[in-house]
Amino acid sequence: MLILVLNAGSSSLKFNLMDMDREETLAEGIAERIGLSEGFIRWTIQGEKGRIELDMNGHKKALSAIMEQLHQTVLVGDREVGAVGHRVVHGANSFVDPELITPAVLTEIEAMTFYAPLHIPPSLSGIRTAQELFPGVPQVAVFDTAFHHTMPDYAYTYGLPYELSQRLGLRRFGFHGTSHQYVAEQTAVLLDRPFDQLKIVTCHLGNGSSITAVQNGKCVDTSMGLTPLEGVIMGTRCGNLDPGVITTLLEQENMDGKALANLLNKKCGLLGISGVSSDCREVEEAMGNKNKRAKLALETLWYGVLKYVGGYAAAMNGVDAVTFTGGIGENSNALRTWVCSRLTYLGARLDAAVNDKRSKVARFISTPDSAVALAVIPTNEELMIARGTLHAVEK
């Protein structure tokens, strides 16, 4: 079966067409600047790169143009899209498995807008567009929060009045679930050991970053919370803060909720501390040029990652593997060196030569005698969404 995976953002639409008989990507790409001027779509179809400039007033125009490209190339003869899988950022308590989208499910996803006001509306638009363009083709929603639903209550509870938390649904949910699940499973494959007998810390570090403890195949804790702001500092997000900082900002800077949300989501993290960029590569470059605030920003991130790894090793009473993924996790030797060289108390030994070598394949970066396996595994969220979609359709 061919599955089209869609990830709709407010001004973008990512797509990936997968042949699930071989779990192979036939086409992938992104439409950018939807609803803005100078829109464009770029893709790789069967290894060939392409790009068109196109102003798109909405997701429908974008998806129609993408389908036009696919119909001219891979979707020929009797090859058709058998199902569409949608990435949906928040499933809260309602969704813990991929869901075949019915009118009732769509209504419930709409109710998630409370939790993710920036992400859910574009997801809904992506789903409605696909329903319109693929009448009769099953549509499935795969949730970023789903993998984390196995966390014990003491790991997801905030220290707020219990009734208030219950009434508003305030608890930690976690994100990047498909990525954490994928790299944790692949860590077991790399180790050639059963997934359900391992203790793994997965570090998904990109523009958004989260760290997860996976014990016996299940998530037992994760660093992001009710929203993707909690945890380590990110490109532009603040990560953990004393809640007193928020009340101070409200009072001292006369901010309202909207201004505060904008600050915490868009002006903090690597960008806010360094003043250089939200892009880790650029901040590393600035640090190389002796920029002190760039160094401070990076060390704040590295130290945050180190503390989560240690915390989760404690939570699981040991750890078999620490795995890095995401743009920073896969590419920043500097981050991995800083963090891994401080895990000797766990018996972890980094192989510096292997760590420094550029590679795009899943690999160990620990020495053979390391008591904890250290691994780098490129993530594949699209494959997990396609697998979840196939599973929901076959059910």
Binding site for ligand ADP (CB under 6 A): 206-208, 235, 279-281, 284, 326-328, 331-332
Using CA atoms, how far apart are residues 33 and 56, in angstroms rounded to an integer? 8
Give the residue with the Cβ less far from ligand ADP, 202 or 332. Answer: 332
Contact 304, 232 (CB under 8 A): yes
Least distance in Å: CB of 299 to ligand ADP?
A: 15
CA-wise closest residue to 116 among 208, 50, 190, 189: 208
- Residue 144 is a catalytic residue: yes
Catalytic residue (one of 78, 97, 144, 356):
144
Contact 183, 323 (CB under 8 A): yes
Using CA atoms, how far apart are residues 96 and 93, in angstroms rounded to an integer? 7
Least distance in Å: CB of 3 to ligand ADP?
A: 21
Instruction: Copy the structure tokens of residue 308.
Output: 């989560």
Least distance in Å: CB of 61 to ligand ADP?
A: 24
What single DSSP character describes residue 373?
E
Give the residue with the Cβ less far from ligand ADP, 85 or 206. Answer: 206
Give the residue with the Cβ less far from ligand ADP, 260 or 334. Answer: 334
Least distance in Å: CB of 176 to ligand ADP?
A: 8
Give the residue with the Cβ less far from ligand ADP, 284 or 320. Answer: 284
Least distance in Å: CB of 184 to ligand ADP?
A: 17
Which strands sit side by side in the sheet containing 139-143, from one edge to the other? 48-53, 40-45, 24-32, 12-19, 2-8, 81-88, 139-143, 99-100
Q: For ligand ADP, which residue has the nearest CB? A: 327
- Give residue 146's region: left, alpha or beta (phi > 0; psi -120 to 50): alpha
What is the helix, strand, coil percentage profile of the chain, to 5? Answer: 45, 20, 35
Residues marked as catalytic: 144
